[in-house]
Structure 1
Amino acid sequence: MTVLAGLRLASPVVVAAGCGGTGRELAAYGALEALGAFTTRTITLDSRRGGPVPRLLETPSGLLHATGLPNPGVDGFLATELPWLLQQRARVVVSVAARSLGELAELARRLGTAPGVTAVEVNLSPPDTGPEPELMMAREPFQVGAAVAAVERELPRGVPVLAKLRPDAVRVAEAARAAVESGAQGLVVGQALPAAMPDGRAAGLSGPAVGPLALRCLTEVLGAVDVPVVAGGGVATVADVRTRLALGAVAVQVGAALLHDPTTAARLVAALDPDATSEETPS
């Protein structure tokens, strides 16, 4: 049993924000309730249409994405996506981003009154927000702290705040400390790195290329704070999971690998099950 910020999870394998769609796309490849948790696509206060196509592009070292973070807004999410996820008995972590601290607080207020929200993950530095109104980028530790505090103040006891830190932050340990001092009960290390599509549009880079950088930041964060840390960035195999758990992470997030092989999360859960009779390492 995995314990994350006081939450008991069935597995250390968590789906990263945006990489499981609404959940419906992933459910065909394995039961969502078997996962440690399902992190939603990033939800904003108002709906977003997303950026122009193409939004995804494979590279030799990973995946470029310039999605613009399309989502139905918090009201649409609460009306349609959350109820379905709860019907699947998924542990739902809601990823959020906003244009201002006030919007973050309002998102937290609305989510805090919704039954079934396991935790809220604050997307502090979305790299591929697209042409729609710009979302907040918490580049400095004080900005990280302010964003986390805006969410934490509005959530009821028992709904922890997870702060998602980007693995290229030079001052990632300071950012981690600021998040914890402002109320984050857990941290996630493994955001996409800023990149660009061939036409110059802002994009994020995820996948194997991010892995070594994320590991460096993971070790720095683990040495700086005493809260549970979830490790992302390039996780695709059982060996990837065990490496991060051995370093001290309590769980991992699987992201870009699901877009290459949507069975990855379910296979990792099965391979890590201590009651399983055999072990498979997904590629």
Structure 2
Amino acid sequence: MTGAAGFIGFHTARRLLDEGRRVIGLDNLNRYYDPALKHARLDILRQHPRFSFIQIDLGDRSAVAGLFAKHRFARVIHLAAQAGVRHSIDHPHAYVDANVAGFLNVLEGCRHHGCGHLIYASSSSVYGANTELPFSTRHRTDSPISFYAATKKANELMAHSYSHLYRVPVTGLRFFTIYGPWGRPDMAIFLFADAIVKGKPIKLFNHGRMQRDFTYIDDVTRVISRLIDCAPEGRADAAAAPAKLYNVGNNRPEALMHVVSLLEKELGRTADKEMLPMQPGDVPETFADVGDLMRDAGFSPSTPIETGVRNFVRWYRDHYEI
């Protein structure tokens, strides 16, 4: 599993370990956000005897090739990426290095060393300028409005081409605003909670008129666990690649102002709100159609936003001793 010290990677690894699987976790532990949080996640994973960790940069072609040759992974869950829509506007090279070159090295490893199924992280950001709701995997995604989104769309195209050419079974997951305990500090719920506690203003873009399909982390890991042994088959005549794409969302957009009010309630403090215009690369609403996932994996999101925010705040208070 790549990105094992990251938010989704940590929770996914923990679920798979609890299910009795062996997990080899990879991460480069970069400084996009506080590495202390990544090390704290790893400290928990290292308590499991079936977990091992390798620090590696996926952009290092020879190192990745050697790793795949040594372990010949039966299943690969690729969650490592340079994240962040706004960060990509000013740091595009980091996104090509991690999200394009790094992913190519993973695909090459899967191609040459018999990987039976590659699950990789895409993003709801690929829907870009699309205005038809809910977002469906059958909608066009050729109008990205951030460079981050462009690299995630590139991942989908790269994965499909490898699946078609080399019959590598691949499943792409378009994640919709994942949140929960141990979340990333650059994501909205974490940013808002931190600002409210510290008495700093929270920035509400589009003057707060935003809706997001907030998806609780436990629902996400449940999806990955169910799909890992369900590799796409394609067709023997090679006309259809063994490749699938799914939305992973809560199937219910939440108004951002409602989420802020839940945080205020759980933290017992009122937020100082700074209303700002829409930011470049952002969209006013996301909404996932998860019908395909419900059909193929029996997935139904089960965590209400009230429960998810309460669980996040409980972790936040405990971890930062507030």
Which TM-score bucket, shorter chain as reference? Answer: 0.3 to 0.5
Q: Greater strand share, 1 or 2?
A: 1
Q: What's the TM-score once normalised by structure 1's chain length?
A: 0.34
Q: Greater helix share, 1 or 2?
A: 2
Q: What's the TM-score once normalised by structure 2's chain length?
A: 0.31
